[in-house]
Structure 1
Amino acid sequence: MTDVTVLGAGFMGAAIARVLMERGRTVTVWNRTPAKTERLREAGATVAEGFTDALTLSPVTISALSDYAALVERLEPVASLEGVDLVNLTTGQPHEADELEALVTARGGRLLDGAIICYPSHIGTEKGVVKFSGPNELWERHHELLELLGTGTDHLGEPVRLANVLDAAQLGFYIPAIGAAMEAAAYAEREGLGFADLRPVLVHGLNVMTGFLAKREDMIAKNDFAAEDSPAEVYLAAMRGVVEAMDRADMEPLLGRAVIRHLEEVQAAGRLDGDFAEIYRSLRESAGEQE
């Protein structure tokens, strides 16, 4: 028996296995393509001959397979998961976590689901962020092992879907943000400025955003959207100007247009004198109307 099994030997699975071995844990690894496990074997890992064997060689199994479908495909032929504690770190959607939990528990196993909010190189460091959700008892049983994955590791709560909800929310912020940076860079270059000129200003904006988000957290908690710095109408006018400038430069500011659409919803509700966070209130109310 080893301390932990890791399913998947891609970039993330290999990083998890290596960090756990570096922290003194014994590790079993399994991968659909056995050749990918060779370096881990050389580093001291035990290589399982088959998927089912991998589940039985450790008290807890961490899955870093490519997606939920790949994990479900492997689990389906396994008649019993009695005694299996499975920790799934595959990126997916909230409903997929619910469905996986139903499959695992129906066969006698237990599931924690997790979202990795960092790159493989961050695993095991202060930049390592992994959020878990699922039964409290299962988290208490394995948290000391799982906390080795990074200092930003914790448990969100019992509903197994919560980790994927958080992941979707943060990716919904992060990816459009870097997309907006690329839009900005392309526009600046077209008008004669290089990314070296733009980047320091973007970094300053990110630093300002830290305080901005803290204030909006307080507003949302209090349900008070009175403008503190600039009202939503100022942001709308600014974004319309940005989009016009990019249009004149023959750029397609898709993300800028999306923000304008949100702010026009705020305008339609007669709340442009409120804070930028009125966008949140508008979306929340719209979602409530559709329930």
Structure 2
Amino acid sequence: MPNSDAGHASVTVIGLGLMGQALSGAFLKNGHATTVWNRSTDKADLLVAKGAVLADSVRHAVTASPLVIVCVSDYDVVRELLDPLGDVLAGRVLVNLTSGTSKQAREIAEWAAQRDVAYLDGAIMTTPQGIGAADTLLFYSGPQSAFDRHESTLRSLGGATTYLGADHALSSLYDMAVLTIMWNVLNGFLHAAALVGTANVPAAKFAPAARKGIATVADWLSGYADQIDGGRYPALDSTIDTHLAAMEHLIKESEFLGVNAELPKFVKVLADRSIADGHGGDSYAAMIEQFRKP
């Protein structure tokens, strides 16, 4: 379905924290008439200087545009701000870029449906500084007709904008899934930097080797994904039994060097459980069965 908001459609942004300011700035840069609202009006000063219109109330902000973007601290604040406005929200597209859980996304979607509001839940996969870049990724989920209607406007926020599907929970799920990857990669790097630091190796000198290691692991993901989806885990490179031996080496090395060994010990606990379940001869992808358990 083609976009129906070709040109410079108007948009409203509610919430002007660092991210909300970046969103508003990207819309203005791309020529969209932009109305903004925030409890602390001083946060709108730079945006107003660039051409934004500062609404004197949330109601005024909502009525200014057919597309309303909300980016506030949490979903409770979204409800607090918008609950009284069912009469003016009806018929508009509401895009919630507030971070939250899939359960919260579905609850807001039900709330919106009761008020005849087309609702898209979204997730921003960048920092405020990355908003508007060609490779910046944002996820959206909800009715495709609402996304298609405003896709060109939403692409002002990031060139890698991606529609995930009709299930409102998908954006939050993807967000949480990417976050767990991020923290696991960062924690692995920090543990590694602590290890080489015992030999007076600066983290900056070690970083290029870490990047190559991370890139190598990233290349394995598609193959592991195929095994996960297929439910079979042939050991094409290394078995969990082999990984376990390396984990034991890492724990001993950490302890010998006086580096916290809790992270590799936790990974070994999962491997031990996987082997106890009969997956010792399988590929590392079989470890997903441990994460699927409550």
Quickly name the TM-score band, shorter chain normalised: over 0.9
CA distance in 1, matches of 2:51, 2:154: 20
Matched, 1:216 2:224: yes
**Residues 68-217 of structure 1 mapped to structure 2, 5 A cutoff:** 68-80=75-87, 81-217=89-225
CA distance in 1, matches of 2:243, 2:276: 15
Q: 2:123 aligns to what SS in structure 1?
A: strand
Alpha carbons 1:135, 1:158 under 8 Å: kept = yes
CA distance in 2, matches of 1:209, 1:243: 20
For 1:16, the equivalent position in structure 2 comes to 23
Normalising by structure 2, what TM-score?
Answer: 0.92
CA distance in 1, matches of 2:232, 2:287: 13
- Return closer, same or farther for 1:244/1:136 CA change in 2, 3 Å cut-off: same
Deviation at 1:27, TM superposition (A): 0.5
Deviation at 1:2, TM superposition (A): 6.8
- Listed as ranges, the gaps of 5+ residues in structure 1 are none
CA distance in 1, matches of 2:93, 2:83: 16
Q: Which amino acid aligns with 1:72?
A: R
Deviates more, 1:101-110 or 1:201-210: 101-110
**Match among 6, 13, 36 for residue 6 of structure 1:** 13
For 1:260, the equivalent position in structure 2 comes to 268
Deviation at 1:150, TM superposition (A): 1.3
Q: How many residues align?
A: 286
Deviates more, 1:15-24 or 1:192-201: 192-201
Q: Deviations over 1:86-130 (max 9, x none)?
A: 100011100110111122222222210001111111111123100
Identity %: 30
CA distance in 2, matches of 1:222, 1:87: 35
Alpha carbons 1:147, 1:154 under 8 Å: kept = no
Deviation at 1:172, TM superposition (A): 0.9
Matched, 1:52 2:59: yes
CA distance in 2, matches of 1:277, 1:17: 42
CA distance in 1, matches of 2:238, 2:231: 18
Q: Which amino acid aligns with 1:4?
A: V
Q: 1:262 aligns to what SS in structure 2?
A: helix
- Listed as ranges, the gaps of 5+ residues in structure 2 are 1-7
- Return closer, same or farther for 1:2/1:138 CA change in 2, 3 Å cut-off: closer
Moved over 6 A (4+): none
CA distance in 2, matches of 1:72, 1:275: 46
Q: 2:95 aligns to what SS in structure 1?
A: strand
Q: Deviations over 1:57-106 (max 9, x none)?
A: 00001111121121111122334231231100011100110111122222
Deviation at 1:204, TM superposition (A): 0.6
CA distance in 1, matches of 2:257, 2:57: 58
**Residues 22-37 of structure 1 mapped to structure 2, 5 A cutoff:** 22-37=29-44
Alpha carbons 1:2, 1:28 under 8 Å: kept = no
Alpha carbons 2:228, 2:286 under 8 Å: kept = no
CA distance in 1, matches of 2:185, 2:71: 26
Deviates more, 1:71-80 or 1:152-161: 71-80
Alpha carbons 1:118, 1:127 under 8 Å: kept = no
Q: 2:180 aligns to what SS in structure 1?
A: helix
Q: 2:35 aligns to what SS in structure 1?
A: strand
Normalising by structure 1, what TM-score?
Answer: 0.93
CA distance in 2, matches of 1:95, 1:17: 27
Deviation at 1:166, TM superposition (A): 0.6
Deviation at 1:258, TM superposition (A): 2.3
Alpha carbons 2:9, 2:153 under 8 Å: kept = no
Q: Which has the higher contact order (CA 8 A, sep 6+)?
A: 2
CA distance in 2, matches of 1:243, 1:94: 36
CA distance in 1, matches of 2:144, 2:21: 27
Alpha carbons 2:132, 2:157 under 8 Å: kept = yes
